[in-house]
Structure 1
Amino acid sequence: MTARSDAILERMMALHPKIIDLTLDRVWRLLDALGNPQNDLPPVIHIAGTNGKGSTLSMIRAGLEGAGKTVHAYTSPHLARFHERIRLAGDLISEDHLTAVLDECYAANGGESITYFEITTVAALLAMARTPADYTLLEVGLGGRLDATNVIGKPALTVITPVSFDHPQFLGNTVAEIAGEKAGILKPGVACVVSRQPEDAMAVIEARADAVGAPLLVQGRQWDAWEERGRLVYQDETGLLDLPPPALMGAHQFQNAGAAITALRHLGFGEDAAEAAVTRVSWPARMQRLRTGPLIDTHPGAEFWLDGGHNAACGETLAETLTRLPERDTHLVCGMMNTKDVAGYLAPLVPHAASLTAVSIPGETNTLPADETAKHATAAGIPAGTATSVADAVQAITAENPQARILICGSLYLAGTILRDHG
């Protein structure tokens, strides 16, 4: 079904030798060749941050759609198929439409150097500019300042979700440096919703906002959100909302919901949109319960969960989420990329993991070998071994404990391989 678009995407991989090379020069060149479609988008909400930006985007989308609005959305990476990255007026882009815009961008690029993410982002902008909708949601791919999505001169709103340490080889060696890259999406006169941040990150964001004249809506100042008796309480300068808890699991989702609600209220939407944001949201591979598929059918007594988080902050939120689940032995099946802080990710999970079975991520050249992941787990104090596949890992775990809770984790790329069978 996707052979044509897959073939074009494969061709695009050869246009630039580096997977990541942050600059906007190549993007501006291609956009100009295509007539600058970024100037024709419906009002844009641009979202950056280390963690939570995808969940926050999904809640904003659910809120807008609950209010009867049509919404484009661009996210990355995809899990099972590329089409997930581009939603046009609520629906995933069709194969024919995707093939057409990829072909057009490839031709307009004229064989010039451009990264895969850059040219596919331009294709998304082109498709969204040509399709009517009320709003456009753009998720930053990496950083913000030099990310291929940062080409919108006057968005309706920007959002910065929590900033933490990730991608130091591209974004900087301190949280403050990374925050500087995220703050690159701030635009003169455009309000920015800011989730609670480390103090040094907040100082950088505030300095950038002052420099460009961007008003900030900061958690703990202009708004806040918290859990109270199992419900979401939201407060801003116009009042208090008592809402159902977010449909996405984890205490961190209350903060993400708060950022989404602040965005919706700034755009002029009321309590119905806020409730839709938290009750209608869906975002795969974020502490997702797996209920169908071959693994579940083969091991009906086990409980299966999937999470794609991959940095130290994600490890902390995952650990906190596990404390909220009913008591049950939890066994990790973990695969990670070789660019990640494996020790930092695993450290918070030590008290919650009965074991860890490491796997290499299928089809990923930058996967961390399973035995390396296992060494990190052993060093952290988690009993660890390896398996050649997730299925083999699950078989070994359930042979000893048929009722185990099994959490497949460590990478969105690993999550994608699971969702292709279970999504």
Structure 2
Amino acid sequence: MDFGRSDDPRVQAQLDRLGALSVPQGRLGLETIRALMERLGNPHRKLPPVFHVAGTNGKGSVCAFLRAMLEADGKRVHVTTSPHLVRYNERIRVAGKLIEDGPLAELLEEVLDASEQGGEDLAPSFFEVTIASAFLAFSRTPADACVVEVGLGGRFDATNVLEPEALAACGIAALGIDHERFLLAPEEGVPEEPMARIAFEKAGIAKRGVPLVTMGYHYPQEAEREIEKASKRSGAHHFPLGDANCGESWHCDDMNAELFYRESIHDELFLPAPAIPGEHQIFNAGLAIAMIRSQTNVRVGEAAFALGLRKARWPARMQLLSKGPLTVLVSDEKVWLDGGHNPSAGEAIAEAIVGPLHLVIGMLDNKNPWALLDPLGDRVRTLQVVPVPDHDCHPAHAFGEDAVAREDLEDALLNVPSDGFPILIAGSLYLAGEALRLNDEIPD
């Protein structure tokens, strides 16, 4: 796991403490994060209205759209997302700005000290400390809304310490098979079919009386059924993606390079296409719009949806890299960057880039090496494999006989033919972070 590095010695001292935490093996439940919240004065009960987002793919993009739309309406917005790409600070955005090193060091120290106080060490995980730090920061700075991304799953994720009173709306983005070791671990009383189980875990964020906005018919039927069960069981107000003429649902589509959004025949929006590339972003943007419109805690004007769609940015998700120290190594070819690593992400990438391409890939050894290659089919003109810095990753031969090993990203780009076809760097968010660092495009 990447616990992060910092040039600030105060932050690095706390990141070293984070790095020393043991990763909980087999520990499930919210008892530890609740105990930690109690020691900190329960900051999760003192937050502005929260938009809580789960999903396998796209949840980060949904959070980016939510933030952009809320800020376009003049709102001050707290955001916590994961993982970070270059700096740990990216995980905590306070009232619109990434947390600065000084306050970050103080927060981490306070939370880590609280976890050890009274001679009883709670032994929290890296993510539990991170979420506790984010909620503590958010509780101390005035804002109009919070956007909170689930880290892993939903039911037992540290962010699920949030209670109904804190929530404006919950959302579930696209679903797929990922993190099987955790999300498909054997357990009594849960669905056995894999996609149903994934949906069950994600829908664990549903809360009584809180809108639960979902992708509806875009899910496999077994997943859609499981989410419907969860919404009824929890008492949430389910608001799924549905047919354009269905009541109690939302609908969106790509219409002549615009985003068409409808809740009823009398409630339609014609909006600009999202600034984040990819056809799937239409539905991620639609989910964000539906989450905002489904609730009454935070009022947002119609104009903010259009402005937010134009301004939303999400690094390393079909990002076209600027000219910099890394991209200057190739001629005029476009260099795209995406952190996707599972089959669903591979399908989205294949839809976003049309035609042949050169692929530079690095993938952790616990991921399927063909997750991206299969959707791209015969469109890959050259395939170069690079290591993911500081992580165990697949060797070149895992990607087939045409794959060539390269020392690093610079070495790979220097060996791409100058034939005008685009270049895609993909396979891992950790590799994406390295590409951004090397190209001097540090997320801010």
TM-score, length of structure 1 as denominator length: 0.93
- 1:313 is matched with 344
* Worse-matched range after superposition: 176-185 or 296-305: 296-305
2:235 pairs with 1:213: yes
Distance in structure 2 (CA, Å) of the matches to 1:336 and 1:113: 30
Q: Unpaired runs of 5+ in structure 1?
A: none
The farther-off stretch of 263-272 and 50-59 is 263-272
Deviation (angstroms), 1:21: 4.8
Match of 2:70 among 58, 64, 69: 64
Q: What is the deviation of 1:344?
A: 3.0
Q: Which residue of 2 aligns with 1:376?
A: 399
Which of 55, 61, 66 is the aligned partner of 1:55? Answer: 61
Deviations along 1:171-194, one digit per CA (max 9) or x if unpaired, are 017011011000000000111110
Task: For residue 292 of structure 1, report the CA deviation from its aligned partner.
Answer: 2.4
1-structure distance, mates of 2:317, 2:21: 32
Runs of 4+ in 1 over 6 A off after TM superposition: none
User: Structure 1 285/354 Cα, relative in aligned 2: closer, same or farther at 3 Å?
Assistant: same
Partner of 2:377: 350
Deviates more, 1:5-14 or 1:211-220: 5-14
| Partner SS state of residue 63, structure 1 | helix
Q: 1:42 aligns with which of 40, 43, 48?
A: 48
Identity of aligned residues (%): 41
Displacement, 1:229? 1.4
In the alignment, the residues of structure 1 paired with residue 68 and residue 40 of structure 2 have an alpha-carbon distance, to the nearest angstrom, of 31
**1:232·1:254 contact (CA, 8 Å) conserved in 2?**
yes
Of residues 181, 193, 198, the one that matches 1:178 is: 198
Instruction: Report the alpha carbon displacement of residue 345 of structure 1 after superposing the two structures with TM.
Output: 3.1
Aligned length: 409
Aligned to 2:288: 260
Amino acid corresponding to residue 134 of structure 1 in structure 2: D
* Higher helix proportion: 1
1:228-307 alignment, distance < 5 Å: 228-237=255-264, 238-267=266-295, 268-307=299-338
Instruction: Give the superposition deviation at 1:258.
Output: 0.6
Equivalent position SS for 1:234: strand
Partner of 2:105: 99
Whole-angstrom distance in 2 between the partners of 1:16 and 1:175: 30
CA separation in 2, counterparts of 1:20 and 1:421? 37
Deviation string for 1:286-311 (max 9, x for gaps)?
A: 01001122122232322211001111
Query: 2:189 corresponds to which residue?
Result: none
* Distance in structure 1 (CA, Å) of the matches to 2:74 and 2:65: 14
CA 1:54–1:352 in 2, change beyond 3 Å: closer, same or farther?
same
Query: How far, CA to CA, are the matches of 2:23 and 2:55 in structure 1?
Result: 26
| Distance in 1 (alpha carbons) for counterparts of 2:236 and 2:112 | 36
Partner of 1:161: 173
Distance 1:129 1:377 in 2: 51
Contact residue 208 and residue 234 of structure 2 kept, 8 A: yes
Structure 1 residues 65 and 20: alpha-carbon distance in aligned structure 2, compared to 1, 3 A threshold? farther
1:202 aligned onto 2:206: no
Question: What is the match of residue 190 of structure 1?
Answer: 210
- Answering whether residue 155 of structure 2 is matched by residue 145 of structure 1, we say yes
1:401-420 maps to which residues of 2 (within 5 A)? 401=418, 403-420=420-437
For 1:174, the aligned partner's letter is P
Give the C-alpha shift of residue 113 in structure 1: 1.4
The separation in 2 between residues aligned to 1:187 and 1:377, in whole angstroms, is 46
CA distance in 1, matches of 2:324, 2:26: 34
Residue 20 of structure 1: how far off its partner (Å): 8.5
Matched residues in 2 for 1:277 and 1:337: separation?
A: 34
Match of 1:121 in 2: 131
Change in 2 beyond 3 A, CA 1:19/1:415: farther
Query: How much has 1:18 moved relative to structure 2?
Result: 4.2
Q: Secondary structure at the match of 1:15?
A: coil
Cα distance in 2 for residues equivalent to 1:306 and 1:100: 34
Q: What is the DSSP-based 3-state SS (H/G/I as helix, E as strand, rest coil) of the residue aligned with 2:309?
A: helix
